[in-house]
Amino acid sequence: MAGYDWNSGKSNNAVDAEENGKLPLSRAVKSVARRTGIKQKDTRQFIKWLGNCEYHHTSKFYNATEYYDADAVVRLIELAKKLDLPLNESFAGACRASGLQVEDDPYDVLSNPPDEYSVTVGEFIESVNSNEWINLSN
């Protein structure tokens, strides 16, 4: 959806992204921290390790602003808590490599992997602990 929404000061795609739960970093940090009870400083670092999911043009200067999927980050934090894993760069890297940040329920994917996934919860935990990340889509 091309175009610019002058009332909101951002592209139509940015408006659409926000309606679908994707937020600029500062807003994503606040949303995730509020929903998970994790300090904003730690939340910010974890989100940055995961990386942005898309970018959109904002402001009258058409700045490129990175957007993050706050709902997916919350699900990954819940996964880390269920698996008793630290929210560190290794966990974020394993999630990025596996594509878990886009799954509806990452724990369910690991617990009941579809045929095309060959990774168990234990293997995922081991990959986080060893820094040898597993690509679930193989």
DSSP string for residues in 29-84 = HHHHHHHH---HHHHHHHHHHH--SEEEEETTTTEEEEEEEHHHHHHHHHHHHHHT
> b or e along 23-59 (b: 16 or more beta carbons within 10 Å of the residue's beta carbon)?
bbeeebbebbbeebebeeebbbbbbebbebbeebebe
Q: Is the pLDDT of residue 138 over 50?
A: no
The pLDDT tens digits for 86-116 are 888 888 887 777 666 555 567 676 666 655 5
Token couple for 127: 């990959």
pLDDT reported for residue 136: 44
Q: Is the pLDDT of residue 44 over 90?
A: yes
Tell which wins on pLDDT, 138 or 128.
128
Hey, where are the domains in the chain? Answer: 4-130
Mean pLDDT, the chain, rounded, equals 79
